[in-house]
Amino acid sequence: MSREGKMDRRRFFRNAGTGLAVAALVPEAAPARRDDKVSNRANIYIDYASPGHEIPRLIYGQFIEQLGMCIERGLWTANGINPDYFLGGIRPEVLEAVNSINPACIRWPGGCFADSYLWKDGIGPMQNRPIRPNRAWNTWGKAVGPDVTNQFGTDEFCQFCEQVRAEPMITANAGSAPPDDAAAWIEYCNRGTEAPWGQERARNGREKPYKVKYWFVGNEMWNSFEFGHCTAEEYAKRFVEYAKIMRKADPDVKLIACGIGQPTNDWNRAVLTGAGQDMDYLSIHAYYPGKLFAAIGPARLKQHLSYYSPLEGVPVFEEHLDRSWEAIEKWGPAGREIRITFDEWNLWYVFWDVIRANYNLRDGLFVAAMLNGLQRRADRIPIANIAQMINCIGIIFVDEKGVFLTPSAWVFKMYTENAGQIYVSAKTDCDRIIGKEADIPVLNVSSSRDRAGKILNLFVVNQHRTEDISTEIKLAGFNPETQAHVHELSHPDPLRFNNLRKPEAVVPSMNSVRLALKDTDSAKSFRYSFPPHSVTVMVLKQA
């Protein structure tokens, strides 16, 4: 299980955009001609009574990794001994920012880093924890792969999750550590003091087990950059071996196998046929636009990207997820429920964004359209984690001088605050904008309700750059109060960023809006105009 040869930079780029089948590193030509001359009218038809699937909260997940400024100099301030900071290392304003977006789950410690991480280094008294080189990422320099201070270890991660009420998810090292290590880690997190590692946790000040339910068996093993990289057949065997030992430590854990969002599904077929009996989830990752970030530098990238191109990532991702689901249906063993975890997804423009990125309003629209698609697929993909939470391709920006939410984080918050529990079918009749890689609907719509049947949440992304879309919304089986709460994220400039000088340049508004309700064809209806390049979450109450 030694690390494969020297890292192949071109191959890493290709893999890092994965899921996207980035075939070649071809520089983009001039932006594609695009036809966005579309009708500025649309219809949405909601059938409240139609039975929909559950939308588990875990689709609103986050991910943190020892990469760039995510943990070191982001979430965690070095020398974690400040009495005013949570656990000695998390600044109050950082904790508040994370709390404010309500992550349902957080995945850690990677990512590629996980397959090099030695978890026993990160427990016990801080002063005894070793500082190690970041074996996974330091080939790119210390800004990308900062030394591992081991201050933010297992207890800190689990207690941080408890503090922000997020379910912890851990990626076990299946690349450079034996299965016994993964089992001991489970024992440390989940067992009482009858077990030696449970005793060790108690000695470290925490008697009550953390009960970490979700465990990844390695990360992206198909990736030549990964520690322990291997073929799909080898990985399937390895998964079975790890699973047996990990489940002995705690039979209640859910185990997640590395999959890949690849149109041919070759890897997924081999993993599902070789290890399907032992797995609970297949992990899929995707970043967009994979080929651009390899081919051109940051300055030129801005000129090459049109407003619309990142939004085309949504149907591209959905296609990969749907193909991966087909793999499960085709090759998953009969009688075993295997679902997808989409535990890394985001826009990743240039490689160096792993140090620290910032995202604009259009990128926020991408997040909203993705969350709509995830709500629609939540029966097949009950877990999803945006990558990542802080700084490193991160939706929360943290600096010594301040902290702010990017529009992507504001969108995430708008969705977690109004999530609903049951999917409600929303049929949309609108024009499509013709793209280079994919076409996108002018309005991307999803809808949910509460379990009690008293609330209807409508999530609408107007993806058009310049047009208001006047929309007739018909509600069958739901009679709303005339006052609705409308949360809206918009700004005259779709490419507007928040920054330290203007951290709230793009923030959502919340208004109480009076609906002009009409009775049409045994349904209630009203007209609403969605502003250009905006995200709207409308909350309606049953009258």
Q: Name the residues that contact ligand AHR, by CB under 6 A.
A: 16, 65, 67, 110-112, 219-220, 285, 344, 387-388
- Backbone dihedral region of 533: left (phi > 0), alpha (psi from -120 to 50 degrees) or beta? left
Q: Which is nearer to ligand AHR, 306 or 388 (CB)?
A: 388
Quote the least distance from Cβ 288 to ligand AHR, whole Å. 12
Q: Packing angle between helix 92-101 and helix 407-417, nearest 10 degrees?
A: 50
20 φ, ψ to 5°? -100, 0
Quote the least distance from Cβ 220 to ligand AHR, whole Å. 5
Quote the least distance from Cβ 256 to ligand AHR, whole Å. 13
314 φ, ψ to 5°? -65, -55
If we measure between CA atoms, which residue out of 450, 448, 445 comes closest to residue 469?
445
Q: Which is nearer to ligand AHR, 292 or 460 (CB)?
A: 292
Q: Which is nearer to ligand AHR, 59 or 67 (CB)?
A: 67
Q: Which residue of the chain is nearest ligand AHR when measured via CB? A: 111
DSSP run (H or E) holding 384: strand 383-387
Distance of alpha carbon 407 from alpha carbon 414, whole angstroms: 10
What count of other Cβ atoms lies within 10 Å of the Cβ of residue 194? Answer: 7
Quote the least distance from Cβ 318 to ligand AHR, whole Å. 19
Q: Which is nearer to ligand AHR, 342 or 528 (CB)?
A: 342
Give exposure, 379-417, as e/b (b: 16+ Cβ within 10 Å). ebbbbbbbbbbbbbbbbbbbeeeebbbbbbbbbbbbbbb
Q: Which is nearer to ligand AHR, 65 or 467 (CB)?
A: 65
Quote the least distance from Cβ 63 to ligand AHR, whole Å. 7
What are the tokens at 436?
Answer: 């280079």
Q: Which is nearer to ligand AHR, 150 or 219 (CB)?
A: 219
Quote the least distance from Cβ 491 to ligand AHR, whole Å. 28
Quote the least distance from Cβ 354 to ligand AHR, whole Å. 6
Cα 246 from chain centre = 25
Q: Which is nearer to ligand AHR, 355 or 424 (CB)?
A: 355
Quote the least distance from Cβ 497 to ligand AHR, whole Å. 21
- Is the CB of residue 76 less than 8 Å from the CB of residue 151? yes
Q: Which is nearer to ligand AHR, 285 or 356 (CB)?
A: 285
DSSP string, 318-337: HHHHHHHHHHHHHHSPTT--
Distance of alpha carbon 5 from alpha carbon 2, whole angstroms: 9
Cα 494 from chain centre = 22
Q: Which is nearer to ligand AHR, 209 or 289 (CB)?
A: 289
Quote the least distance from Cβ 207 to ligand AHR, whole Å. 33
Pairing of strands 254-258, 281-288: parallel
